[in-house]
Structure 1
Amino acid sequence: MTGEVKISVSDTHRAAMRAFLGNMEKFVDEYADDLEKDANPVGFSMLTSFTNGILLRRRFGPGCPLPDVVRYVALLRASDESARALDARMTENTIRTHLDDPSLTTPPPFGGRAEEMVESMITVLLSLVAEAGLDDKGIEELVEEAAADVEAHELDPAALPVTVPPEVMELLRQS
């Protein structure tokens, strides 16, 4: 059974995202275990994705030329030790997906594994937060904007790069 579902973002998701973006040690100490046991894991995942999308649109703007994305990924991989192992094409395509690039024809996860796509997304997200120089207030505003965007949208699980198990679909419908 598929169909579009609303995703809720809990206060815990919001607090965890603020910690994830601003204080990784606090995130690990206070939220990582709770998120592993979360009855609504999609809430935090969607919040992560929408936060990334907001920062990418701020960074690149509408109609961003592909060479700008390629250059960004190349510089990221050259300057960030943790980004060196990322698949450049997957990272570029993940960014292009967030920018609604109409020329992108390959569906996520772009011939790779979903886990690799998530790793690319997280690396880009943390890089963009560092680049933006957000303080606590800026992070709070970003997280609230992303949470509002998540809750204003409906998710079509059939469009995801991985199959959503029926038990997770049931949890989504209840959220």
Structure 2
Amino acid sequence: MMRFTRIGILGLSLYMAGCAADLKSGRQFSGDLEPPPADKVKVYLVRNDNFMAAKPPYIYVNVGKPNEKGEFGEPPRLAAVVGKDMFAPVLMDPGAMLVQAGTKEVFQFNAGETRCIEIGGKFRGVTIFVTEEMAPDECKKVLQGRDEGVEAREAIERIGRPDPASLRFYSAK
């Protein structure tokens, strides 16, 4: 019985560590949160798992306009695929936006602002995947030395699944 447990743990470790496609763009955080064009919002999606949480190789971030119940009022679109210890800057339109990367949260974005949203696993007895606002100063600290991820379409192509033709990708209008 102990032998099967060890084999299972080894298999899970190899899966979590060895099967992930490289989603790095080759760029690292510059030290400053870059401002968007005046009519857009720049949202930094920051992968920030705590040390005890389960850490899947990727977190898929879907966005869309919310309805009055706080659910997707339109089919969600893939905004980013964020690997471990990475971040993805996404240019978005102003207004209310539902962001889902585990939990779902509605954010009110204003034109010309830069925001940080923390995504990732938090161990709270069990691992919960959160989508939470992050203060800009804390965001800059977390981003030090982090790699920027590639855009969502390229990430899906690098991962090799699902078929990019089957997805709806987000892009600011």
Q: Same fold (TM over 0.5)?
A: no
Which structure has more relative contact order (CA 8 Å, sep 6+)? It is 1
Q: TM-score when scaled to structure 2?
A: 0.29
Q: Which structure has more strand as a fraction of its residues?
A: 2
Larger relative helix fraction: 1
Larger Cα Rg: Structure 1 or Structure 2?
Answer: 2
